[in-house]
Amino acid sequence: MLPFFIDVPDLIAALVDLVRQVPRGRVATYGELAKALGDAKAAIWVAGVLNDPPPAIWEVAHRIMKANGEPGRFPADALARLVGDGVPVRDGRADVMSARFRDFETAQPLELLKREQDALANRVRLTPLETHSSTVAAVDVSYRADGVGVAAYVLMEAGSPEPIWMTTARVSVAFPYIPGYLSYRELPIHAALLRKVIEADRVAPLLLVDGNGILHPRRTGIATQLGVLADHPTVGVSKSLLCGTVVWDGSFGEGTGKVVHRRETIAAVLPPSRRGTKPLFVSPGHRCTLDDAVAAVSTWRQGLRLPEPIRLADALSRSVAKAGLEVQ
């Protein structure tokens, strides 16, 4: 395992800059700002920010609205301000078509991240595990209300119900949650965590990651990016389907299925551990195969929905986040 560092763009600063570019008498929609950032999928995040915007754009936030011309929650007098700006308003909605502004100057930071993911996908190696060991580790992240992320690492040995060793790391999180870009929210936290693991000489041969591996539109989920950057075998374990179609064909045993995306099998679907629970999605991250990933997760699942190391890492990160402490 190699230590790594990662820089992520300041999306809030980029969004503030875009909002301030909209001149008096013109308007833009949440979707258009998302496209200017580089991905229309960021529209929900854009709307959330502008419903409680940074002070730097309080005076101009009323110029950003829904696609149908309805203003957001901030400011309360948005329609009156639009009329004052000279924007046509009818029946409680701005005339977006006549006042639309699209000429943004932007570096499109999300587009740059997509290109980075595409380049990283070319470095992924889905080769058989080089070392089959009874020792495995898992990582998971929880968040505090103040924007601090807590990552937990739990090291376990097969046959032992208790962890061999565990540690946590805390990092202030600046990047938001946007589907497809979870890695850029969590990688800085994982980087700090794994530096502690390496320093303590507690690196497991295989790392289970709460999140996707190649089960991702660009084949670069958090487990994959983490594995490539650290040059270490990783497996992604997810509780929800990010992309693709589930085919229940027993590919990995009775009651199992697979996820197919663009005609490629990218994940296994393991059945619910008990009635009333949901299936689990398992995908290789780096330096292992899909069969390796399924075998590792199945070994540690023990009748539960989640593999025991991930369940314990989740519980540890949550408890530390809630208590505001850190495990050394």
Give me the pLDDT at residue 2, please. Answer: 85
Give me the pLDDT at residue 100, please. Answer: 96
Give me the pLDDT at residue 150, please. Answer: 96
161-182 pLDDT per residue, tens:
899 999 999 999 989 999 889 8
If you ran DSSP here, which 8-state letter would residue 224 be given? H
Count of domains in the chain?
2
202-249 pLDDT per residue, tens:
999 999 999 999 999 999 999 999 999 999 999 999 999 999 999 999
Can you give the CATH number for the domain in which 34 is found?
1.10.10.10
Q: Which tokens hold the place of 145?
A: 């209300």
pLDDT(328) > 60? no
Residue with tokens 């303590």: 200
Residue 171 and residue 284 in one domain: yes
User: How would you class 4 by CB atoms within 10 Å of its CB: exposed for 0-12, middle for 13-18, buried for 19 or more?
Assistant: middle
- Residue 254 domain flag: yes
Residue with tokens 């199992």: 256
Last residue of a domain, one of 91, 107, 123: 107
Taking the model in full, what pTM does it have?
0.89
Q: Tell me, what amino acid is at 229?
A: L
Phi-psi region of 59 (alpha: psi -120 to 50; beta: other; left: phi over 0): alpha
- Residue 5 domain flag: no
Q: Percentage of the chain with pLDDT > 90? A: 86
pLDDT(325) > 80? no
Give me the pLDDT at residue 276, please. Answer: 59
Q: How many residues does the chain have?
A: 328
Contact residues for 263 (Cβ-Cβ < 8 A; gap 6+): none
Q: Do 257 and 270 touch, CB atoms closer than 8 A?
A: no
Give me the pLDDT at residue 159, please. Answer: 84
- Alpha-carbon span 182 to 8, nearest angstrom: 12
- Report the pLDDT averaged over residues 136-164: 94
34-72 pLDDT per residue, tens:
999 999 999 999 999 999 999 999 999 999 999 999 999
Give me the pLDDT at residue 108, please. Answer: 97
Structural domain range at position 265: 132-323
Number of H helices, E strands in the chain: 10, 13
pLDDT(326) > 70? no
Handedness of CA 152, 156, 160, 165 (dihedral sign): negative
Last residue of a domain, one of 90, 107, 124: 107
Residue 174 and residue 79 in one domain: no
Residue 165 and residue 293 in one domain: yes
- Alpha-carbon span 273 to 93, nearest angstrom: 50
Residue 45 and residue 146 in one domain: no
Q: Which residues of 41-50 are buried (b: 16+ CB within 10 A; e: fewer)?
A: bbbebbbebb
pLDDT(316) > 80? yes
Give me the pLDDT at residue 327, please. Answer: 54
Give me the pLDDT at residue 304, please. Answer: 81
| Residue 10 Cα distances to 14, 124, 143, 220, 264, angstroms | 6, 27, 19, 21, 34
Residue 36 and residue 137 in one domain: no
Side-chain-side CA neighbours of 257 within 13 Å: the count stands at 14
